[in-house]
Amino acid sequence: MAKHKTPLLDQLESGPWPSFVSDLKHQAEVRAKNEEGIEFQIPQDCVEDLLGVLELSYKHGRTHWKHGGIVGVFGYGGGVIGRYCDQPALFPGVEHFHTMRVSQPAGKYYTTEYLRNIMKLWDLRGSGVTNMHGSTGDIILLGTTTPQLEEIFYELTHNLNQDLGGSGSNLRTPADCLGSSRCEYACYDSQALCHFLTNEYQDELHRPAFPYKFKFKFDACPNGCVASIARSDMSFIGTWKDDIQIDQDAVNKYVENDSAYPSNAGAHKNRDWGPFDIQKEVINLCPTGCMSFENKQLTIDNANCTRCMHCINTMPRALKPGKEKGCSILCGAKAPILDGAQMGSLLVPFVEVNPDNDYQAITEVIENIWDWWMEEGNNRERLGELIMRQGFQRLLEVTGIKAAPQHVQYPRTNPYIFWKEEEVPGGWERDVEEYRKHHLR
Compute CA distances 135 → 295, 336, 430, whole Å.
49, 16, 57
218 contacts: CB under 8 Å, gap ≥ 6: 174, 175, 176, 177, 179, 190, 193, 194, 226, 228, 236
Calpha distance 406→350 (Å, rounded): 11
Least Cβ distance, residue 432 to other proteins (angstroms): 36
Kindly state the smallest distance separating residue 89's Cβ from other proteins, in Å: 19
Minimum distance from residue 1 beta carbon to other proteins (Å): 15
Could you tell me the smallest distance in angstroms from the CB atom of residue 350 to other proteins?
15
Q: Please, which residue, 406 or 436, has the CB nearer to other proteins? A: 406
- Distance CA(232)–CA(14), nearest Å, equals 36
* Bridge partner residues of 71 (DSSP): none
Q: Dihedral (C-alpha) 48, 51, 56, 58: value to the nearest 10 degrees?
A: -170
Nearer to other proteins, 189 or 351 (CB): 189
Q: Which residues contact 398 (CB under 8 A, 6 or more apart)?
A: 368, 369, 371, 372
Nearer to other proteins, 12 or 401 (CB): 12
Angle at 309 between CA 404 and CA 341, to 5 degrees: 60
Residue closer to other proteins by CB (options 202, 436) is 202
Closer residue to other proteins (CB): 20 or 364: 20
| Least CB distance to other proteins at residue 332 (A) | 13
CA dist 234 → 138, 165, 313 (Å): 18, 18, 25
Alpha helix segments (H runs only) across 160-243:
190-200, 202-206, 228-231
Taking the complex as a whole, how short is the minimal distance between the CB of residue 431 and other proteins, in angstroms? 39
Report, in Å, the least distance between residue 109 CB and other proteins.
4
272 phi and psi angles, rounded to 5 deg: -85, 100
- Decide whether 105 or 349 has the Cβ nearer to other proteins: 105
- Residue 61 or residue 411: which is nearer to other proteins going by CB? 61
